[in-house]
Structure 1
Amino acid sequence: MEAKDLQYFRELLNGMLDDVLQKSDETIEDMTESGEVYADPADRATAESDRAFTLRLRDRERKLIKKIQNAITRIEDGDFGLCQDCGEEIGVARLKARPMTTLCIECKSKQEEDEAVRGD
Structure 2
Amino acid sequence: MHQDKLEGFKKVLLAKKNAILEHNAQHQSNVEQMRNIKGDEADYATMSAENTLEKSIFQKHRQELEYIEIALEKIENGVYGICEMCNEHIALGRLKAKPHAKYCIVCREIIEKDLKDKV
Do both proteins adopt the same fold according to a TM-score greater than 0.5, normalized to the shorter chain?
Answer: yes
Measure the CA separation in 1 of the matches of 2:52 and 2:113: 33
Aligned residue number for residue 109 of structure 1: 109
* TM-score, normalization by structure 1: 0.92
Aligned residue number for residue 69 of structure 2: 69
Structure 2: segments with no counterpart, 5+ residues: none
1:50 Cα deviation from its structure 2 partner: 1.1
RMSD (Å), alpha carbons: 1.2
The aligned runs of 1:1-120 (5 Å cut-off) are 1-34=1-34, 35-39=36-40, 41-119=41-119
Give the counterpart letter for 1:62 in structure 2. Answer: R
Q: Deviations over 1:45-93 (max 9, x none)?
A: 1121112211221221111111111110110011100011111000000
Find runs of 4+ consecutive structure 1 residues off by over 3 angstroms. Answer: none
* TM-score, normalization by structure 2: 0.92
Give the counterpart letter for 1:74 in structure 2. Answer: K
Seen in structure 2, the aligned counterparts of structure 1 residues 76 and 54 have a Cα distance that, compared at 3 Å, is same
Measure the CA separation in 1 of the matches of 2:10 and 2:78: 12
Measure the CA separation in 1 of the matches of 2:66 and 2:117: 28
Give the counterpart letter for 2:32 in structure 1. Answer: T
> What is the percent sequence identity of the aligned residues?
25
Which segment is superposed worse, 23-32 or 43-52? 43-52
